[in-house]
Structure 1
Amino acid sequence: MNWEAEVIRKKDDLIKDTQSFLQIESVLDEEGGKEGKPFGEKVDDALQYMLKKGEDEGFTVKNVDGYAGHIEYGKGEDIVGVLCHVDVVPAGDGWTTPPFSADIRENKIFARGAIDDKGPTMAAFYALKILKDSGLQLSKKIRMIIGTDEESDWRCVDHYFKHEAMPQIGFAPDADFPIIHAEKGIIDATLSFTYQQTADHPRYTLKQFTSGMRLNMVPDEAAATVTAAQEHGAESLKTAFEAYLANHKLSGEVKNTADGLHFTLKGVSVHAMEPAHGTNAGIHMANFLCGHELDEHGLAFTSQINALFDQDTRGQKLGIACKDDISGDLTLNVGTIRYKQNEEAKLGLNVRYPVTADGKDVKKGIESIKGASLLKFEDSPPHHVSKDHPLVKTLQRVYEEQTGDPATLIAIGGGTYARSLEAGVAFGPLFPGRPDCAHQKDEYIEIDDLLRAAALYAQAMYELAK
């Protein structure tokens, strides 16, 4: 079968449906969660959108308590899983056009979730539709499993697999082509800090300091409010901040407010799998603040951030740095900072460690931070499928047949739903040489790549389930 030709026949509908899907602002809403809609109205809207499309096409559809759902085609005892998600990270600022407008420019669809993961989800759905419309006979079920909390805590798949069967093999269209067969372990840790109080007569007092929205994103903005003991001190701090921005080629501003001097600093957000590619606004703000005569607690907190994390995304200062030949270096991202005078001092860390490393060793390093208490710790172990596994071999053959390029195997620091399966890999949608714009402003998917991915997914599903 000419898979590419089948996709082209459905091109206009695929683009239209992808745009409609992307226009749903499916960001986690913890406060708006309720029974049947645990992650908020908009996330549920996106789940319902996909399930309704499945129903309209005559597929077998199931909603598992609003946590996840599936769209299924085929018969047989065994299941081939295609694991997708409809939730997206917050849009952030600085977009050329509204982040959920899904407008088309230069043959690209721009929207939060375009590449991660709503565009690929729609491509996978159209691949399933091609199989059904073609009447091809399968000996296994193909089940698109649609999660709703992938960008946070994976509560969706945890709940889903307590109630539904685990596929024997499968792939997640949520990373890179050709094939990702190894994913680093992922640790999320939240730390609280306490400092001993002594007599203190500061020149400046740190009232509040915040940065970051998610642990798996490098923060692109930080804000701090500081009061000065004397008026000339305020002017001096303003001048120092402007010099810091200029020296580090950063943007930001400082304003006089009723609460004191309010500082904002802009960074560059990227996915936490490689924080060195971004600019962590929170680390820079701490670096600036700790260079001045702050109150004791404010100075201790910002100094500790600076000492442990400034210009170190590999955990060397914590003593947790490690690497292997399969998956490379451990990476470390300070994803969130929360400080309020006399109330809280917290850090949120995201660590991605190699497939041959032990998460217990990383935990020991984090627990060794002076003055810190571990409030929350979650460890998703590494995932690795052998290069000789039939799943890997089949996907390699499909990729090479359609693209003519070698299907090299990749290891990543990101975590995809593939690790939910004993035999699962990530398969696209980002083609080699394309910039990775996931979790960044002006996220997009190339329309040509959306079509190519749909063709690859259609053949992959068929070869795995025939």
Structure 2
Amino acid sequence: MKTLQDIDAIIAKQWPLFTEDLAKLIAIPSTRGPSQSHAPFGEQPRRALEQIVAIAKSYGFQTGIVNDAMAYVQWGEDSSNYLGVVGHLDVVSAGSGWTSDPFTLTQRNGRLYGRGVLDNKGPSLACLYALKILHETHLRPQKTVRLILGSDEESGSQDIKMYLQQQPAPVFGFTPDCKYPAVYGERGIVNYAITTTIDDGSLKQLSSLEGEQALDHVPDDIKVLVNGQPLHISGRRTPTNAPELGENALTLLAEKICQQHLVQGELASYFSWLANSFHEQHYGEGLGINFADAASGKLIVAPYLLQKTKTNLRLEIAIRYPVSYQEEEVTAGLKKALLPHSQLQIIRSLKSVRHDPHDPNVIALSQAYQEITGLDATPVTTTGATYARFMPNIIAFGPSFPGQKGIAHKQDEWMSIQDLQLNIKIYLQAILKLCKREE
């Protein structure tokens, strides 16, 4: 085969095998667990690495696991000068409320469902199949291509550091873990803990909060006793980089407590502050930090955890700020919005990253996307955090298309069959353009 005009038929022919391989990956509940020998991020993420190695080896590729942290699939002999495609096989917890088993690949109405089908097992496998199709049709890239698959992206990306201890970084590449078109910049991210002392005794009106609270998503189910009265607050889960698409159970709780005057004293003042500062105030306007710029849009804020101790309340929030602003500006603004007797602590800090949108490699990715889809390929920025912050010379590229947002990290995670097949085609074309095809 000398052209790409037959690619749709090839993908269709390989699709049953693709879904069989994807089902094997989805079946592994690869959330982070206790560190073990040869499994620094837990047994299940390690199983996922071994599974992708077994799949890729069966298709004739060189494979390996680096420092027990990341698997690689390589085509070519130059291990120091290679194009890198960097995905991940770990996932966030499934949570509750799924229509079908989160760890069984399920098809309904043209969509595939399962934890990791979008973030990021499905797109990672799409990249492997792009290589597989190139290999089988003798469209050999001139440059070595290495697909690198991690096991700790969702919990801090320490796997990248471990990989780089033993292997050189790619000369360029992409991570299929964000959106299209090519993403040349990622916003800064800073997570804060706000600890507020309640010293008038009113804190006893509130019990500890029950429900899953984690930094990857807006909480959607909270149970608590308020003056002995049980409250069960249901919201709608969404990733913390898209809080406007969900309903935050913490701020809904604050609203209800205030509207019904359920508590008194300093505790009432606290929940009034929480409601006024955060409820449906997704862009920092309730805190006076509603920064924005033309390159990346509005600042985004999402509270995701509230804990009670004997004398204080600890609120954790995630903020994603525009690329032209600095973390210090966000911190200074936030300090002005705090209640008295509050302490502010930075618990996570990721500086923004920017690449030149006119770089020839970025242009090559843009051309591949436009040629396959016919859509506008002007490079963009993102609110998300990807491996591009940790692996040198990498930018985000796909898999979600414009208008698709807030699907990962929630119940019934899905990706359409049509989009997943289109991703294979885009990634195949991108690899050829970045490596320059040999005839």
With structure 1 as the length reference, what TM-score do the two structures score? 0.85
Residue 422 of structure 1 deviates from its aligned partner by 4.5
Cα distance in structure 1, aligned partners of 2:269 and 2:40:
38
Of 245, 253, 260, the match for 1:285: 253
For residue 153 of structure 2, give the secondary structure of its aligned residue in structure 1.
Answer: coil
Cα distance in structure 2, aligned partners of 1:344 and 1:34:
36
Cα distance in structure 1, aligned partners of 2:411 and 2:303:
19
Cα distance in structure 1, aligned partners of 2:301 and 2:124:
29
Cα distance in structure 1, aligned partners of 2:306 and 2:202:
25
Asked whether the 8 Å contact 1:7–1:451 carries over to 2, the reply is yes
Asked whether the 8 Å contact 1:59–1:73 carries over to 2, the reply is yes
Residue 142 of structure 1 deviates from its aligned partner by 1.3
Of 348, 353, 358, the match for 1:383: 353
Residue aligning to 2:63: 61
Of 440, 455, 459, the match for 2:425: 455
Alpha-carbon deviations, 1:158-201, whole Å to 9, x = none?
32223321112111111222222222111122333323x24x47
Cα distance in structure 2, aligned partners of 1:337 and 1:49:
38
The answer to whether the aligner puts 1:128 opposite 2:135 as a matched pair is no
Residue 276 of structure 1 deviates from its aligned partner by 1.4
Residue 425 of structure 1 deviates from its aligned partner by 2.4
**Corresponding pairs, count:** 428
**Tell me, which stretches of 5 or more residues in structure 1 are unaligned?**
229-260
Inter-CA distance 37–290: structure 2 relative to 1 (3 Å threshold):
farther
The answer to whether the aligner puts 1:33 opposite 2:2 as a matched pair is no
Asked whether the 8 Å contact 1:206–1:295 carries over to 2, the reply is no
Cα distance in structure 1, aligned partners of 2:313 and 2:167:
41
The answer to whether the aligner puts 1:310 opposite 2:279 as a matched pair is yes
Query: What is the correspondence of 1:22-101 to structure 2 with a 5 Å cutoff?
Result: 22-29=26-33, 32-76=34-78, 77-101=80-104
For 2:157, the aligned partner's letter is W
Inter-CA distance 375–356: structure 2 relative to 1 (3 Å threshold):
closer
Residue aligning to 1:235: none
Inter-CA distance 36–225: structure 2 relative to 1 (3 Å threshold):
farther
Cα distance in structure 2, aligned partners of 1:343 and 1:97:
42
For residue 119 of structure 1, give the secondary structure of its aligned residue in structure 2.
Answer: helix
Of 412, 415, 420, the match for 2:390: 420
Inter-CA distance 416–206: structure 2 relative to 1 (3 Å threshold):
same
Cα distance in structure 2, aligned partners of 1:335 and 1:283:
10
The answer to whether the aligner puts 1:169 opposite 2:172 as a matched pair is yes
Cα distance in structure 2, aligned partners of 1:431 and 1:364:
36
Residue aligning to 2:293: 324
For 2:113, the aligned partner's letter is F
The answer to whether the aligner puts 1:408 opposite 2:411 as a matched pair is no
Cα distance in structure 2, aligned partners of 1:172 and 1:394:
15
Asked whether the 8 Å contact 2:21–2:55 carries over to 1, the reply is no
Cα distance in structure 1, aligned partners of 2:71 and 2:32:
17
Inter-CA distance 193–67: structure 2 relative to 1 (3 Å threshold):
farther
Residue aligning to 1:347: 315
Residue 295 of structure 1 deviates from its aligned partner by 6.2
For 2:432, the aligned partner's letter is Y
Cα distance in structure 1, aligned partners of 2:127 and 2:196:
45
Residue 433 of structure 1 deviates from its aligned partner by 4.6
For 2:257, the aligned partner's letter is L
Residue aligning to 2:122: 119
RMSD: 2.4
Runs (4+) of structure 1 moved beyond 6 Å?
A: none
Of 305, 323, 327, the match for 1:336: 305
